Amino acid sequence: MALLQISEPGQTPEPHQRKRAVGIDLGTTNSLVAAVRSGSAEAIAAEDGSVILPSAVHYGEDGIGVGAEARARAGEDPYNTMLSIKRLMGRGIGDVKSFGEQLPYRFADSDNDGGMPMIETAAGPVSPVQVSAEILRVLAQRGSEALGGELDGAVITVPAYFDDAQRQATKDAARLAGLHVLRLLNEPTAAAVAYGLDSEEEGGADRTIAVYDLGGGTFDISILRLSRGVFEVLSTGGDTALGGDDFDRTIASWIAGQAGLGSDLDVTTQRALLDRACTAKEALAREESVALEFGDWRGSLDRAGMAELLDSLIAKTLRACKRALRDAELGAEDIDEVVLVGGSTRTLRVRERVEDYFGRAPHADIDPDKVVAIGAARQADVLVGNKSGDDLLLLDVIPLSLGIETMGGLTEKLIARNTTIPVAKAQEFTTFKDGQTAMAVHVVQGERELVSDCRSLARFELRGIPPMTAGAAHIRVTFQVDADGLLSVSAMEKSSGVSADITVKPSYGLEDADITRMLQDSYTHAEEDMAARALREAQVEAERTLESLLVALRENGAELLDERELDALERGMEALRLAHNGGDADEIHRRIEALNELSEAFAQRRMDASIKRAMQGHSLDEFDQ
């Protein structure tokens, strides 16, 4: 069957100024930014020519440093140098304790039970979100310098395995850095985009792709299917706390053992050991054997020796591959292509074991450190509207099941892992006391049956339930996961139609008030005017609203609206234009809201018309044969 010719709703009918969009790979160890320029996606270099920005932030009394300069201070000033901060994103105090020895920070005693860890530094307490925002700010700056102006949007990549809290934390960091997030994109999907576009020129049949992504701190395996320009994520799996850093630690502790060092090592020695281990690991990608020394000890490590040290860690990644294949209802023999991502896939033993497991040589033509950012840049270019979205569509899945707590501390799964997003599920609750007007819903993420074995995401409090006898109220709670993998919840009492108020208490993340406060703080630092920023944001949203409505009207306004409706819309648009040129952000928001109300019915009719159009030519009797 031929694909239907459909005019794309994303297409702008008139030539249009090119928008500035970047792809950002916010990595555990390294980060980088890329953009599509003159048709091809490339990583953007800093002034000194370096592309990789070490994900390191130093908080000194003299100010904040980011990147190589910060990393260089890790040895002398470990407590104020934030490394591998990605591991703490969206994590609670409890999780952090398990990293304690690996991340030698001083955590402030938290007085909020939200449990967001704060790290004491010479520049005051900072949260992982703030640290990540510093890294993003440097990359955004690099992007806007290279593209010649303020950025219109960014695609930021996250490990496919990131849960809701970790995704939310990443989005919060972007917001703090002043970035408009077009999409959070899973790293393996981004890598497949980078490769997939290249190879699609060869044309041809469906292909099933395994993306094996072993970075500094995380491992992801994703099984994707590419079919006529649609990338479908069939399943994902992995481990948010397994990566090349663990290779380094394993080798470092082997060196420590060989050198007869005790287990109680100070931070400086630990860092020195890790550096030595990392150098040895990298050298073994080129050489058969390396000489080692530490203090008085002299020794050597060869490839076979390192393989022995690392095999159990690599085996862990292969077990995750097996689970992901099972979730995709496939076997290793069904995989057509294997793509390697992440600096840790340079380790030869990893390549050997992966090749062995999948029975085919993996792709590694694109630099494994850059491939994610390059894919993200391509997708950013499409999402911001520079390209008609005709070429590629990414269908992603939720990485971990979402559930709610029920009686006895058990979880009831609402949305199974590997369900394609966006997704919505409604669940009905009832009151168990006469006159009850509020109830709490605890949302968790994970695969286990006991609530205590899953990650707590948030507690929602429903209020404003009309008082009724026990069991009479039927509260329909809708759990919605958007295309970024982020959860939102709404509730309504069915018999009365009253929508219940929801207060969200994220278990690990920041509340909106925290973000506002941090934004204010950062503006004070940057001496930027908060009001000016708010006005600009409102204006941008107004422009976007007006533009998309104009396009919609031109496409099928005449067909779907009567004269009265058209007239009302045009007056609403004029009012918004006036507000846009005035200087009042609140007024702009009011006008946007009013216009949205006016255009709601039109938008729905457009969607319904699109469905009809998409299904045109598929008459029912086609299947009678």
Catalytic residues: 25, 86, 187, 213
Note whether 1 binds another protein by CB under 8 A.
yes
CB 417 within 8 A of CB 223: no
Q: Cβ of residue 167: shortest distance to another protein, in angstroms?
A: 15
The half-sphere exposure of 413 on its side-chain side, counting CA atoms within 13 A, is 12
| Pair type for strands 487-493 and 474-481 | antiparallel
Q: Which residues of 395-425 are buried (b: 16+ CB within 10 A; e: fewer)?
A: ebbbbbbbbbbeeeeebebbbbbbeebebee
Minimum CB distance to another protein, residue 461 (Å): 23
Q: Please report whether residue 96 would count as binding another protein according to CB under 8 A.
A: no
Strand (E) or helix (H) holding 327 = helix 303-327
**Residue 623 binds to another protein (criterion: CB under 8 A):** yes
Site string for another protein, 286-305 (x = CB under 8 A): --------------------
In angstroms, rounded to a whole number, what is the distance separating the alpha carbons of residues 414 and 427? 8
In the complex, minimum distance from the CB of residue 428 to another protein, in angstroms, rounded to a whole number: 12
Applying CB under 8 A, among 69, 198, 308, 600 the residue interacting with another protein is 600
d(CA 86, CA 75) in angstroms, rounded, equals 20
Taking the least distance from each CB to another protein, the nearer of 514 and 541 is: 541
Does 608 help bind another protein (rule: CB under 8 A)?
Answer: yes
Residue 560 binds another protein (CB under 8 A)? no
Residue 464 Cβ vs another protein, minimum distance, rounded to whole Å = 22
- For 600, the enclosing helix (H) or strand (E) is helix 585-614
* Nearest approach, Cβ of residue 386 and another protein (Å): 9
Closest CA relative to residue 350, chosen from 221, 538, 171? 221
Taking the complex as a whole, the smallest distance from the CB of residue 509 to another protein amounts, in Å, to 21
Please identify, using beta-carbon distances, which residue of 118 and 421 lies nearer to another protein: 421
Instruction: For residue 22, state whether it binds another protein (rule: CB under 8 A).
Output: no
**Judged by CB, which is closer to another protein: 242, or 595?**
595
DSSP class of residue 366?
A: S
In contact, 73 and 57? CB cutoff 8 Å: no
Q: Pairing relation of β-strands 402-406 and 337-341?
A: unpaired
Closest CB to another protein among residues 195, 231: 231
CA distance 271 to 178: 33
Exactly one of 46, 233, 545, 573 binds another protein (CB under 8 A); that residue is: 545
User: Minimal CA–CA distance to 466: which of 440, 501, 442?
Assistant: 501
Residue 414: helix, strand or coil by DSSP? strand
Span of 100-108, 302-310, 554-562, 611-619 interacting with another protein by CB under 8 A: 611-619
> Residue 224, interface with another protein (CB under 8 A)?
no
Residue closer to another protein (CB basis): 420 or 452:
420
Decide: is 464 part of the binding site for another protein (CB under 8 A): no
Instruction: Give the residue, chosen from 419, 427, 437, 539, that forms a contact with another protein under the rule CB under 8 A.
Output: 419
- With residues binned 3-state (H G I as helix, E B as strand, rest as coil), the percentages for the chain, rounded to 5, are 40, 25, 35
* CB of residue 474 to another protein, shortest distance in Å: 15
Instruction: Confirm or reject binding of residue 522 to another protein (CB under 8 A).
Output: no
Identify which of 221, 213, 255, 240 has the alpha carbon closest to the alpha carbon of residue 86: 240
The residue with tokens 């994703």 is: 222
User: Is the Cβ–Cβ distance between 254 and 68 less than 8 Å?
Assistant: no
The only residue of 157, 168, 345, 599 in contact with another protein, by rule CB under 8 A: 599
Nearest-approach distance from CB 178 to another protein, in angstroms: 18
Q: Are 338 and 362 spatial neighbours (Cβ–Cβ below 8 Å)?
A: yes
Q: Rule CB under 8 A: which of 136-175 touch another protein?
A: 153
Size of the site for another protein (CB under 8 A): 57
Q: Are 87 and 28 in contact (CB under 8 A)?
A: yes
* Cross-sheet strand order for the sheet of 423-430: 423-430, 474-481, 487-493
- C-alpha dist (Å) from residue 415 to 402, 444, 446, 487, 566: 5, 11, 10, 11, 41
CB-facing half-sphere around the CA of 142: CA atoms within 13 A:
28
| 624 belongs to the binding site for another protein (CB under 8 A) | yes
Piece of 209-217, 369-377, 476-484, 562-570 that binds another protein (CB under 8 A): 476-484
Per the DSSP assignment, residues forming a β-bridge with 363 are 339
Q: Which of 421, 441, 462, 487 touches another protein by CB under 8 A?
A: 421
For another protein, the closer CB: 126 or 397:
397
Reading the block at residue 542, the tokens are 């107004």
Binding characters for another protein, 481-520, by CB under 8 A (x = yes):
-xx-------------------------------------
Binding track, positions 323-352, relative to another protein; x by CB under 8 A: ---x--------------------------
Residues numbered 354 to 393 that lie near another protein (CB under 8 A) are 382-385, 389, 393
CA distances to 15, 17, 263 from 385, rounded to whole Å, are: 11, 10, 55
Q: What does the binding site for another protein look like in residue numbers (CB under 8 A)? A: 1, 3-4, 6, 8-10, 19, 153, 182-183, 227-228, 230, 232, 322, 326, 382-385, 389, 393-395, 419-425, 480, 482-483, 541, 544-545, 548-549, 592, 596, 599-600, 603-604, 607-608, 610-611, 614-615, 618-620, 623-624
